[in-house]
Structure 1
Amino acid sequence: MLVTPVSPGGLVSEVVALVLARPGRLRVVVDGPSPTRPDVLAHGVLAELRARGRGGVVIDAGDYLRPASVRLEYGREDPDELLDGWLDQGGLRREVLDPAGPGGTGRVLPRLWDARTDRAFRDDYTQLSDDGVVLLHGALLLGRGLPAELEIHLRMSAAALARTLPGSAQWTLPAHARYDRERRPADGVDLLVMSDHPDRPAVVRR
């Protein structure tokens, strides 16, 4: 195993190269806890792809949470429920991942549920081109059976995560620990990135 330091821009280029090597529509999962900034990577990749003539859409998993009455049934700070019950996997598959997959219509919904107001967004659907790319970003996404052609995991050690998560999010640490222990997100992904210091990532080459 070889660990190669890269710049944030170099990491974008690594992901873009993986995407460009695959024709047709593509579903990419960019998984990592919020301090690793998976959103920044996803948007950077899409900007570079557009510059190269390949379009797509960035999807925030936080816009596909279940209604508060369901996800907060056991309280607002239940780490097990965060891992197992917050994400609306069915809605994400129905509105994004299945339509973007082989044989799908290419018609995807960028946002479904506004967790802040606890009501549905009123977004219009986006039509992907035949080579359009969906970049789904968020935390705790792998090991759920979500269909994707590329999976990227931004890995942060438990110590670094505890140090960088704000106080209001410290209750999520047991969910991340259980995620690493049970779902082993670093195993079998297409790109593993060590992200204890997000400004100085390192790509793991097996």
Structure 2
Amino acid sequence: MRRFNPISPGLLAGRLTELFLQRQTDIAHAGQPHPLRVALDAPGWVDLEPLITGVAERLAVRGHPVATVRGVDFYRDASLRFEYGKTDVESFYTGWLDTAALQREVLKPLGAGGTGSYLPALRDPVSNRSARTPPVPLAAEAIVLVRGELLLDTGLAFDIVVHFSVSRQALRRLAPAEEAWALPAFDRYEIDVDPAGQADVVLRYDDPSHPALFARPREE
């Protein structure tokens, strides 16, 4: 049974900032500095913007620019996503996110030995049109926050993973009625992947104004 300690949103932003900077320092000391690649693993209905803004502001003050990437901007073409309909749970769980593209265009080039430039978006998830955005260079001291859902156990290369654990009751409250069909995918994710067991930081996030924190060091 995991124990979560309540923490204020401001203190949480500060704690994550320090954790990210320490991990980036460790990477630099290892001899291959590169932008820190952070996974923010949370259901899309969860509002992470205040926390992301708080972390980004604190990092900027410390001289570390922040880039954000949305998983939805790396969804596969609609013809593939909706091959079995727009409410197929299996397709959503295994096939909406183009993990190969996210790895190729963002995570690999920002990793050790990479080009240092990333593609901010691949495709508009609503219009299904190519985003046509040029690659953007990032300095080694930068931090890229990849905000998406069902990110773990997909082969994606992150330097640190933050998992936002949300109860089924809270998800039912947050999910719009027309999107409630996707809820079983998150039940399966908890059972098959155990994201809280894989993440470096686990947050109880039923209410973003009253988060709770459980953290453990990554096993080497």
Q: CA deviation at 1:55?
A: 1.2
Matched, 1:187 2:197: yes
Contact 2:200/2:215 (8 A) holds in 1: no
Q: CA deviation at 1:121?
A: 0.6
Q: CA deviation at 1:166?
A: 1.3
Question: Counterparts of 1:1-206 in structure 2 under 5 Å?
Answer: 2-21=3-22, 22-23=24-25, 24=33, 25-206=35-216
Letter in 1 for 2:196: A
Q: CA deviation at 1:39?
A: 4.3
Q: CA deviation at 1:185?
A: 0.6
Q: CA deviation at 1:35?
A: 3.5
Q: Which moved more, 1:59-68 or 1:2-11?
A: 2-11
User: Deviations 1:64-94 (Å, cap 9, x if unpaired)?
Assistant: 0000001110100011111100001111011
Letter in 1 for 2:8: S
Q: CA deviation at 1:2?
A: 4.1
CA–CA distance in 2 between the matches of 1:184 and 1:91? 24
- Unpaired stretches in structure 2, ≥5 consecutive residues: 26-32
What secondary structure is seen at the aligned counterpart in 1 of 2:155?
coil
Name the one with the larger strand percent: 1
Q: CA 1:86–1:76 in structure 2 vs 1: closer, same or farther (change >3 Å)?
A: same
Letter in 2 for 1:57: A
Contact 2:46/2:174 (8 A) holds in 1: no
Q: CA deviation at 1:49?
A: 1.0
Q: CA 1:143–1:38 in structure 2 vs 1: closer, same or farther (change >3 Å)?
A: farther
What secondary structure is seen at the aligned counterpart in 1 of 2:80?
helix
CA RMSD of aligned residues (A): 1.4
Q: CA deviation at 1:188?
A: 2.6
TM-score when scaled to structure 2? 0.89
CA–CA distance in 1 between the matches of 2:110 and 2:10? 27
Q: Number of paired residues?
A: 206
Q: Quick one: percent identity of the two aligned structures?
A: 37
CA–CA distance in 2 between the matches of 1:100 and 1:70? 27
Contact 2:71/2:146 (8 A) holds in 1: yes
Contact 1:59/1:137 (8 A) holds in 2: yes
Letter in 1 for 2:21: L
CA–CA distance in 2 between the matches of 1:61 and 1:42? 15
Q: CA 1:43–1:108 in structure 2 vs 1: closer, same or farther (change >3 Å)?
A: farther
CA–CA distance in 2 between the matches of 1:65 and 1:131? 28
